[in-house]
């Protein structure tokens, strides 16, 4: 996964990381789960490669912002419902959104 993150555009990385925190906080508050494709719905632009999503979500998991809860069919229309990781936000995501610092 580290190789997929090498050369990632800094602007996109920042947009993605902010989007992950926002979606994680939202889903934590509602009890919902999400997958990478849901980030597009909240305004995160598509990366130059779909392989860029995984490293960002794994970084968020290592930071305690999200946690994996399983796999489900992808919502992305172009992948014929292949498996996608399902995530849920954490209380830390809410604190970060409310102005607190990440651990």
pLDDT at 78: 82
For the chain, domain boundaries: 2-97
pLDDT averaged over consecutive 10-residue blocks of the chain (103 residues)? 65 96 98 97 93 94 98 87 94 93 58
pLDDT at 5: 61
pTM: 0.88
Terminal-to-terminal C-alpha distance of the chain: 22
Q: Does the domain at residues 2-97 carry the CATH identifier 1.10.10?
A: yes
pLDDT at 1: 44
């Amino acid at each position: 996964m580290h190789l997929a993150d090498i050369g990632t555009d800094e602007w996109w990385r920042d947009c993605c990381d902010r989007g992950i925190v926002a979606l994680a906080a939202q889903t934590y508050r509602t009890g919902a789960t999400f997958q990478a494709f849901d980030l597009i719905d909240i305004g995160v632009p598509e990366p130059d490669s779909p392989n860029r999503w995984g490293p960002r979500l794994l970084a968020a998991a290592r930071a305690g912002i999200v946690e994996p809860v399983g796999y489900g069919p992808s919502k992305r229309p172009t992948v014929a419902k292949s498996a996608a990781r399902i995530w849920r936000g954490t209380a830390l995501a809410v604190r970060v959104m409310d102005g607190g610092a990440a651990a």
